[in-house]
Amino acid sequence: MVLKTAYSLLVVFLWSVTATTAKDFGQIIQVVVSPIVSKKGENVTLTCVTNCTLTNATYIWYRNGQRLDKPTSRQHSVVGTLSSSYSCSVKDLEDLHSPSVCVLGRQCFNVTYTRQSICALKGSVVDLPCKYQYPNNHTLSWTSWYVQERGDERPVILSSLPEYSGRVKYLGDNMSECTLRITDLRETDSAEYKFRFKTQNAEWGYSFPGTTLTVTDLQVKVTPGKPKTKTLTCSTSCNLTDNSNLTYVWYMNGQRLDKPVSCQHSVKEYYTHSYSCSLLNLRSAVVCIVGQSCMNVSYTHQSVCALKGSTVNISCTFRHPNRQNVTETTWFNKWDSGVIIDLNQDPEYAGRVEYHRTTDKDSTLTVKDLRESDSAEYKFRFTTNIAKWGYSFPGTTLSVTDLQVKVTPATKEGNVTLTCSTSCPLTDHTTYIWHQNGQGVTNEHNNVLHLGLTTEDVGYSCAVKGHEDLRSQTITVRYEAVFPWVPVVTVGAVLTVAVLLVTIYCTMRRRSSGGSDAKTDPQSVHPDAMGDTRTALNLTTLSPDYDTLGSVHPDTNSDTYSVLNMKTRSPDYDTLDSVHPDTNSNTYSSLNMKIRSPDYDTLDCVRDSHNDNDGQKNLDYENFGEPPQNLD
């Protein structure tokens, strides 16, 4: 057991040294793919390579962000697929995992966290930078951030936790960006944050290490210095991630000091003096140099968010040396060169402010009927018979907001999401009340309301429990019938029109090329009710493309002949020289006897059922239209 512990400590030490020199030696751990070029379905060997040689180490492999139970060795054999990515780490050092690599190509599943750990100040704003990718032939369907508390097996979706309501914002997109922003940081926000996404075919796992956030506050540490002096250090519990060009501010008895601007400050010992430091507009608690009876003001909250029209309480506690007596207390939010305006004397707050004290060491400011213009920093100041508390020490920042209902675009299924939003985060565990057409929605108490497809217009508004009379403006969710077959019908209609136009164009072009030979009027057909109806053919343009029948006006007293054009005689379709029909005989079609080509020498024979008196078999050939009367 002792040897195992010693080995673990040695590994941690070596890896810590390696981590500090990562910029000089490249990645601490990485996955090497062999062969480099392979095809889909071929076996590929993955090797987890480290900058230092580890003995008897247990390796952990990840596929698409999900931890694999096996193997635990340094090498891993897989079948190459276009969407799969792999990463590795060493047991007990999972935070030092390798970047994910694609087995084939470059468009596999992957999430890259720019920083594996971040240290940020309590009350500040932090961005957790993140990039992700997926194959081009996949469609993104879902993204979300998760938080995993230490010791928990599975992460929890961030949007489901009320303590983060109004404090998180997704800065990503549907392509590659997945950065998360958290505002008004609290020490309870210290956790590991992970990004997950899904496509129609696969998803990124939850066991892949994410970004570990540590939230720290500022503390003034007092250490002995030279005789009658103390050394003050403005410190944090972790090294701030953005620590370049930091400017520190020091306060003595609530009054800002011009110097120093570093994290350390050497002072003389005075039992009445108190000190505090701030960084990035975030302050530390006040400490006494000697004893516990120095001058001090401590605010209950550094920031407060309240609803427009409501009432808010801003409170603080204060102390002073026992031998001093308080002569004056005041609240203010405006000051200039040491001149302050008491809120009781400010006409903007006339009749809306009150001061309350339950003990001689506390004070509470009450502001009624809040307006958006009341958003400001409020400070408390007290005066004793010997000294004053400074006016430049940070107080409590009040933000006044109203309620607004925001509508997200409808999904393909017609679902709509309503969000009751504010410009600043309200207190934890706020209970929301939704109203539908003036009636309360009893089963929904979150700030998000999901609506299904509706068939009527509905008005929605929201409020907060305890302030039911301070509702948001009502918005109307309008029903718009969307039928899935409308696009199909539209596309079909467009294609039909396109085909029709092409057909008309081709027909007109062909007619224009052969129109000089056509003399018949193919507009109508008036068949003889007593006789056979026969179709008229245009022999001048007899082709597979033009085999439609012409229209004729047959004479009821004569046979019907096909109309021939005698003006032109092309080598392909020689027209007949003359036609001398015998009105007393059967109807014959006129033939050109000069040439008999294999293409045009077949005539269908039919038996004339109307004229068979002589007992002979008369052959009727196809009757053609009546020839033109005026031929050149």
> CB-based contacts of 221: which residues, under 8 Å, 6+ apart?
232, 233, 235
What is the rounded (10 degree) CA torsion for 190, 192, 198, 203? Answer: -160
Count Cα atoms within 13 angstroms, Cβ side, for 307: 21
pLDDT value at 600 more than 50: no
Show the tokens assigned to 566. 């005698």
User: Could you report how far apart the first and last alpha carbons of the chain are, in Å?
Assistant: 123
How many angstroms separate the CA atoms of 174 and 132, rounded?
9
Strand segments (E) across 236-347: 248-252, 255-256, 264-268, 274-279, 282-283, 287-288, 296-299, 303-307, 312-319, 326-332, 335-336, 339-340
- Given this model, what pLDDT does residue 490 score? 63
- Given this model, what pLDDT does residue 450 score? 84
pLDDT value at 134 more than 80: yes
How many angstroms separate the CA atoms of 282 and 249, rounded?
10
Amino acid at 2: V
Please, are residues 403 and 463 in contact by the beta-carbon 8 Å criterion? yes
How many angstroms separate the CA atoms of 338 and 597, rounded?
119
- Given this model, what pLDDT does residue 176 score? 92
- Given this model, what pLDDT does residue 56 score? 86
pLDDT value at 328 more than 90: yes
How many angstroms separate the CA atoms of 462 and 432, rounded?
7
Domains of the chain by start residue, with CATH:
26-108 (2.60.40.10), 300-401 (2.60.40.10), 402-477 (2.60.40.10), 521-632 (no CATH)
pLDDT value at 539 more than 80: no
Q: Which of 152-166, 231-245, 342-356 has the lowest mean pLDDT?
A: 152-166
Residue with more model confidence, 3 or 63: 63
pLDDT value at 517 more than 60: no
- Given this model, what pLDDT does residue 513 score? 62
> CB-based contacts of 494: which residues, under 8 Å, 6+ apart?
none
Mean pLDDT of the chain: 78
Average pLDDT over residues 431-438: 90
Please, are residues 261 and 251 in contact by the beta-carbon 8 Å criterion? no
Q: Which strand (E) or helix (H) includes residue 504?
A: helix 486-514
φ and ψ at residue 471, rounded to 5 degrees: -80, 160
Show the tokens assigned to 532. 């056979």
- Given this model, what pLDDT does residue 509 score? 75
The answer to whether the bond into 260 is cis (omega within 30° of 0) is yes
How many angstroms separate the CA atoms of 109 and 118, rounded?
24
Max mean pLDDT among 7-21, 371-385, 490-504, 560-574 falls in 371-385
How many angstroms separate the CA atoms of 626 and 43, rounded?
82
- Given this model, what pLDDT does residue 160 score? 86
pLDDT in tens, 436-488: 988 888 777 888 888 876 667 789 999 999 899 999 999 988 765 544 444 55
Amino acid at 109: F
How many angstroms separate the CA atoms of 226 and 253, rounded?
22
How many angstroms separate the CA atoms of 92 and 96, rounded?
9
Q: Which strand (E) or helix (H) includes residue 78?
A: strand 75-79
Within 10 angstroms of residue 181's Cβ, the number of other Cβ atoms is 13
Residue with more model confidence, 30 or 503: 30
- Given this model, what pLDDT does residue 585 score? 45
Point out which residues pair with 310 in neighbouring strands.
Answer: none
φ and ψ at residue 372, rounded to 5 degrees: -65, -30
How many angstroms separate the CA atoms of 260 and 248, rounded?
8
Please, are residues 476 and 457 in contact by the beta-carbon 8 Å criterion? yes
